[in-house]
A and B are shown apart, each in its own frame.
Chain A
């Protein structure tokens, strides 16, 4: 088992776990290495009521490790892609997605960069982002916080931000809710009067100025920005022994 003080990746995992804590009995659906580690950490510790998948079509009740072939699964449901839409459209999911671009209102792009006729960079496409963001709580994970990701304006709106949701009016936008944005540097949220992105906490060892410089728009920054919390000993044990025994999170976010 790894020992030593908590790493940056482990701080990220705890911050991600905090995104799902308090959600209640919903499908926590983190996408990406550290999101999965953080989501399973929440289920393993403070939020056992969370329902989670094996990353594919099964709902599993035990905490399975990441990056391990054929882990033992306590299967408690069949959730093929078609059933996932039932979950999403009925409002019982919290997804954490990635983003190639994100603006201050939380508009997200991972479809393509440039023009529709001939994109400069073709990325994933719309995937499920329009449906996720208009139906359920959505959070984001950005493993490398840079001004290339946090941009003044996204090229394509795949995930709906607060300004667009507001323009839809109170009926059409009533299920839209963005949670937090966790990055390798900090935690961001939209808990401002006009839902502009705010710096919620900086990870230990990160200066506020560093985040501001790596963000291509003006963040809401309060006077005393708290530090993100360290994971507890119990959480470290879960991460290092049970959830991420191979240290894949450390590869996604290397310790500075």
Chain B
């Protein structure tokens, strides 16, 4: 009997408490758990440390005043290279950052997933990654080569939020696009793991939609699953739907003034997910 791990969007948001470190899956403006992010924006939580290959998830949470620190290598909307709300937050000094290389980020998640304190890498040496994070240490090889490497510390997450194309009620998840990103690692690096999916299907259905290797998230990696159709909107979720470029431009325009943001927030954030989906469909 497959367990039933189905939860609601609000139950997921309630798992996130002040000061927590939250990892968010996807990459840039691609396959982001936006329904969950919108719910977090509505919640009263604050002082979050966000770990993300960043896109509008980071921008929205910064603009909604939820973020203390962003651990990142980039925050981008892909077709719009610089995330406007993240830029405003940084330039006003309202959020601090840990500046990482994309690969160090992977190693940090992997170290947390494997329960080791760090993983060694050459990446970071010589760059200002070390200057902006004085807590980063190097480590010397105990073997004859004696090489000095960066000891990328484990990026331990309190909560991970990811979005998959298909899932079952037990919390198994399947991606149907070409890149799994780092969603499985996000889950494995976290204490509590929640997955939104386009559609909850019977487990038997997985192999009709994709090969076994597309079932990237097994149920050891998740604590809860929530069906959020169109829930990655406005980010890309191919093959189910492309990025909503027109909406993304409107989102970008909402960074131009407080009035523009208030209007955007009232229309698209301070509404239920069902109402949001109704509005963006029309």
Contacts and interface: CB of A to CB of B under 8 A. Distances in A.
Contact of B93 (A57, A117, A125): A117
Interface string A156-169: 11111000110110
Contacts of A176: 126
B210 interface: no
A24 interface: no
A172 interface: yes
B126 A128 contact: no
10 contacts: A58-B178, A81-B102, A130-B124, A130-B125, A134-B126, A135-B123, A160-B125, A165-B126, A172-B147, A175-B122
A119 interface: yes
Interface in A88-129: 88-89, 111-112, 116-129
Contacts of B75: 125
B44 to A, nearest CB: 26
Interface of A: 56-58, 78, 80-82, 85, 88-89, 111-112, 116-131, 133-135, 156-160, 164-165, 167-168, 171-173, 175-176
Given A81-B27, A81-B181, A118-B91, A126 B122 contact: no
A111 B182 CA distance: 22
Nearest to B100: A126
Interface in B114-137: 121-129, 131-132
A124 B76 contact: yes
A118 B88 CA distance: 10
Contacts of A157: 126-128, 131
B127 A119 contact: no
Given A124-B74, A124-B82, A85 B106 contact: yes
Nearest to A158: B127
Contacts of A173: 125-126
A171 B106 contact: no
A78 B147 contact: no
A126 B73 contact: yes
Interface string B211-255: 000000000000000000000000000000000000000000000
B82 A122 contact: yes
A56 B97 contact: no
Given A125-B75, A130-B101, A172 B91 contact: no
A227 B228 CA distance: 59
Residue of A57, A82, A165 contacting most chain B CB atoms (<10 Å): A82
A57 B101 contact: no
A182 B235 CA distance: 34
Contacts of A123: 82
Nearest to B133: A116
Contacts of B132: 116
A215 B160 CA distance: 46
Closest A-B pairs by Cβ, 7 of them? A118-B93, A130-B127, A131-B123, A160-B126, A122-B90, A80-B179, A130-B101
Nearest to A54: B178
Given A118-B90, A120-B91, 4 more contacts: A82-B106, A89-B122, A126-B73, A127-B73
B87 interface: yes
Given A128-B73, A171-B147, A111 B99 contact: yes
Contacts of A133: 126-127
A33 B251 CA distance: 26
B148 interface: yes
B180 A82 contact: yes
Given A82-B106, A112-B90, A129-B101, A164 B126 contact: yes
B90 A119 contact: yes
A81 B25 CA distance: 13
Contacts of A124: 74, 76, 81-82
A82 B181 CA distance: 7
A172 B178 contact: no
B215 to A, nearest CB: 16
Contacts of A116: 97, 99, 132
